[in-house]
Chain A
Amino acid sequence: MSALDPFVRAAREVRPSATGRVDVEVIARQAATARSRRRGQLIGGSALVAAVCAALWWGGEPRLESQPKAFVSENSPATPEVVPATAPAPTTQPGVADWSAPVRGPDVVGHRGAHTIARRGGAIATPAGTLWLDGEAEVEVASADVIVHLSSGVAAFDNGDRVVVLGHERFVQVRPEKDGPDEAAVSASATSLARRAESQLLAGNRRAARRTLATLVGEYPKAPEAKTALLDIATISRRLGDEGQAACALTAFVEQWSTDRQASAAQAQLERLPAATCRGLRPR
């Protein structure tokens, strides 16, 4: 018998005064709003870490210590086997993406509600381009975005955007590139260089990939691919033990993309590296 017993008994007798006011429709509506807000917050939120891990993954190197276990799957090959995109291309006119069409292709293994489950190491066609996957992925086709939800692993769009999801319950939103002839032309060239670098990384040729990425940055400094390329150069350089060039790439990133969400993370990385005086992307 404790002195608290009457208090505990009283507490046990506390009942909700009114029940049943829970409105399922309101719950569903507000939950949908909360979900979309959460997705929005994650756009680019961990892109630097993502890019770093992507480059490490593609290079077939050991992963960062901070990387969650879910990223490393026992079934994942050291170098992911990339299956060519054999999925049918979107049937709509160029520039007019049909977001309502279901995502299909030989690597699609099923659908779960609005989500598509794709085979590990496969590729699927989406209105934003071909999505290359490593790790089982659920791809939700939304009104104007492709939402990728991977249980583990790496995914990349063939337009050069890289999508890496560390662990589960992470969403990354990839927007299709804007239309416009000049921008499209630049993007196409930058994209082809980014793809070449990606292939070189997949083949384990990191020095060649770094050269290609440096060319991309030099020729198309304003292209979105150049932004990712700078981060990749930094990552590859660090893996090659070239901290000077890593610092120069990060310095270039911080200077050229100072308002980008990843700038502060890049700055933090930069501060952990030895100081370097740079000429372009190379240390003097």
Chain B
Amino acid sequence: MTLTVATDVEQMQEAALLSAAQRGDAQALEALVRLHRSSLAAQVAHMTGDPGSVDDIVQEVFIAAVAALPGFRRDAQLGTWLYRIALNKSRTWWKAQQRRKRREQLGTAVAQAQAETPDEQLAHTDHARRLYAALADLPHRYREAFVARHVEGMELAQASEHLGAPVSTVSYRARRAMALLEQRLCEDDR
């Protein structure tokens, strides 16, 4: 109950900030950016696996969002809307990565996973690098469904809302991505 009340209050605060930002209030805009920056950065890090690109992508997401803010009709929650913009920006990033990869014949950027011991750190980093290298070869819809369901840990309904696709489609894409990734990563282990 307390949690629900807190969430309601947060939503009311966000709605008030949003209205003010839509009227051109710079302070409200700053507050909204501050409110969503961390979660958005974490989501973008999960989408790309490249911590070094996160700030640039987050900046681009906010620029696109602020430019479209007067027309934002609140059909979705602001967080969901930002997530969708981040998906689009991440797609562009992946395309650029793939072009760069072809050009330079380099692997995807190495993700620095966090872990408690140096050994764990090494293993985590290696796993993350291999996973994102494999994700790079998946169609973006599969990649996004996999990240939303398994990395972000979203429920099917939530992932469906964030990705703008039916629940059954998201479920299928996530399962298909899992199968393709398992195949690819097991091949690497052999």
Tell which of A16, A34, A38 has the most Cβ of chain B within 10 Å: A16
State how many angstroms separate the Cβ of A4 from the closest Cβ of chain B.
6
Number of A-B residue pairs with CB-CB distance less than 8 Å in the complex they form: 139
B71, CB-defined interface residue at 8 Å: yes
B85, CB-defined interface residue at 8 Å: no
User: Contacts A7-B130, A10-B124, A22-B55; is A17 near B112 (CB within 8 Å)?
Assistant: yes
State how many angstroms separate the Cβ of A11 from the closest Cβ of chain B.
5
A19, B49: Cβ atoms closer than 8 Å:
no
User: Contacts A16-B54, A22-B55; is A6 near B127 (CB within 8 Å)?
Assistant: yes
Binding stretch for chain A, among B5-13, B93-101, B160-168, B181-189: B181-189
B33, CB-defined interface residue at 8 Å: yes
B112, A26: Cβ atoms closer than 8 Å:
no
**Alpha-carbon gap, A12 to B33, bound state (A):** 23
Q: B146-168, CB under 8 A of A: which get 1 and which 0?
A: 01001101000000000000000
Interface residues of A in 7-28 (CB under 8 A from B): 7-24, 26-28
**Alpha-carbon gap, A11 to B126, bound state (A):** 10
B38, CB-defined interface residue at 8 Å: yes
B55, A7: Cβ atoms closer than 8 Å:
no
State how many angstroms separate the Cβ of B141 from the closest Cβ of chain A.
18
State how many angstroms separate the Cβ of A54 from the closest Cβ of chain B.
22
Residues of A close to B51: CB separation below 8 A: 14-18
Tell which of B73, B124, B126, B130 has the most Cβ of chain A within 10 Å: B124
For A, the interface residue count at a CB cutoff of 8 angstroms equals 38
State how many angstroms separate the Cβ of A26 from the closest Cβ of chain B.
7
- Interface residue from A8, A27, A113 paired with B33 (Cβ < 8 Å): A27
B38, A14: Cβ atoms closer than 8 Å:
no
A2, B124: Cβ atoms closer than 8 Å:
no
A30, CB-defined interface residue at 8 Å: yes
B181, A4: Cβ atoms closer than 8 Å:
yes
B26, A28: Cβ atoms closer than 8 Å:
yes
- Interface residue from B42, B73, B130, B147 paired with A16 (Cβ < 8 Å): B42
State how many angstroms separate the Cβ of B142 from the closest Cβ of chain A.
13
User: Contacts A22-B33, A22-B55; is A11 near B62 (CB within 8 Å)?
Assistant: no
Contacts A10-B131, A11-B131 known; list 11 others, CB within 8 Å. A7-B127, A7-B131, A10-B113, A11-B132, A13-B114, A14-B113, A15-B114, A21-B59, A22-B33, A22-B37, A115-B70
| Contacts from B to A (Cβ < 8 Å) | 22-24, 26, 29-30, 33, 37-38, 41-42, 44-46, 49, 51-52, 54-55, 58-59, 62-71, 73, 111-115, 123-128, 130-132, 147, 150-151, 153, 178, 181-182, 185-186
